[in-house]
Structure 1
Amino acid sequence: MATTAAGSRELAHPERVGIRLEGVLHALSDPMRLLIVRDLAAAECELACSAFALPVSKSTSTHHFRVLRESGVIEQAYRGTAKMSGLRRDDLEELFPGLLDAVLAAADAQAGRD
């Protein structure tokens, strides 16, 4: 995992080679995290954390974003005062071809049944 200096506004992300299937699957197994990933996939661009209307507290939301970032599913960076999030689609596709698209399609199908 990449390291950052104490007090830095840079966030730690795993290198591509450090992204593990079990970590990605764990991150995608939570309904709130899957909702975040679905929103990012639909937007096809970075979104500010404040753009997500999650029915959880701010601290719980922060936890979900951290799990997604540390597993390698998303990347985050500060742009001014906003923390922007984007999918690491290229990295995931290179490591696990078709996984993200299959998970998103299954989540859409499930949402259509609910």
Structure 2
Amino acid sequence: MHIDRNSTDKYKPEYDVLVRRFAETFAQTSPGKEAMGAAISVFEPGETIREHVNKPEVEEVFLVLDGDVDFYLDGRRERITTGDMGLAHVGQAHAFTNAGTGTARLLSIWWRAVREPAPVA
């Protein structure tokens, strides 16, 4: 059994907010999977997870655990709130701003997108 307990010392500054990555837990899983990871970002009102594009071939989903968050994707803005999920496809620039009055928490899960081979003609 592997339990990764929550503690404040596991949150490190990344993307201009505090981020807790789950690399140790994913290291305990089957080696037969595609590359993937997960993290929780914690950010206060007005703080922004700066705009970025993931590594090549990486897609990412975002689940708002707490708060009201402005989700920016390729220059568009959409408000997402507790329980809402967003998606950034390969190559899409994305950022987040805490638009609420309390602490926001965002769960991110990413993986390497597997492209199907082109059909043989």
The structure richer in strand per residue is: 2
User: Would you call these one fold, judging by a TM-score over 0.5?
Assistant: no
Flag the structure with larger Rg.
2
The structure richer in helix per residue is: 1
- Alignment TM-score, normalising by the size of structure 2: 0.27
- Alignment TM-score, normalising by the size of structure 1: 0.28
